[in-house]
Amino acid sequence: MTNRAQATRPGECGHWRRWTVILPGAIAGTAAIALGTLGMLGASFGLTSECTDFNEAAHACTALYLWLGAGFIGEWALVLATGGLLAIGLKRPTARRQVAISAWITCALAVAWYATDLYSGFHSYRH
């Protein structure tokens, strides 16, 4: 066993392997990209169609549009955060544990942000 292999084991020298950062980072990035593009496209189409059918008044769907915009921006902010986490985790082996945990949390945040955004957008025009 080489010194490099010994130094990359979890628990020894505080270094984790590269895949422990790449896997959660890739999952979190993919989830945020998918929810930020296809998810928001589907949600926008469905919710705005229902909102305009439900409300005939002018500017009745403005709050919905603001929520959908916030959801899109929030998901792409999580994509950028995931990219930053991957860069830090791959560059600094001693920070891989914290980065891996943060990347898994970012994955959960992407799903939670999407669900919160849809719920809030739906209830913005359903008083």
The answer to whether residue 11 sits within a structural domain is no
Return d(Cα 72, Cα 91) in angstroms, integer. Answer: 29
The answer to whether residue 5 sits within a structural domain is no
For residue 59, the model assigns a pLDDT of: 79
Question: pLDDT tens digits, residue range 71-82?
Answer: 999 999 999 999
Which residue bears the tokens 């500017």?
Answer: 59
Helices (H) and strands (E) in the chain, counts: 5, 0
The answer to whether residue 6 sits within a structural domain is no
The answer to whether residue 86 sits within a structural domain is yes
| pLDDT above 90 as % of the chain | 45
**Global model pTM greater than 0.85:** no
The answer to whether residue 9 sits within a structural domain is no
Q: The domain containing residue 84 runs over which residues?
A: 16-125
Question: pLDDT tens digits, residue range 39-53?
Answer: 888 888 888 888 877
- Domain count within the chain: 1
Q: 12: helix, coil or strand?
A: coil
Structure tokens at 47: 């919710």
Question: pLDDT tens digits, residue range 3-34?
Answer: 555 445 555 555 788 899 999 999 999 999 99
More confident of the two residues 64 and 112: 112
Which residue type sits at 61? C
Structure tokens at 87: 């860069």
For residue 39, the model assigns a pLDDT of: 86
Return d(Cα 36, Cα 110) in angstroms, integer. Answer: 9
Dihedrals φ, ψ of 58, to 5°?
-70, 140
Would you say 93 and 15 are in contact if contact means Cβ atoms under 8 Å apart?
A: yes
The answer to whether residue 26 sits within a structural domain is yes
For residue 10, the model assigns a pLDDT of: 53
Which residue type sits at 106? T
Confidence category of residue 89, pLDDT binned at 50, 70, 90? very high
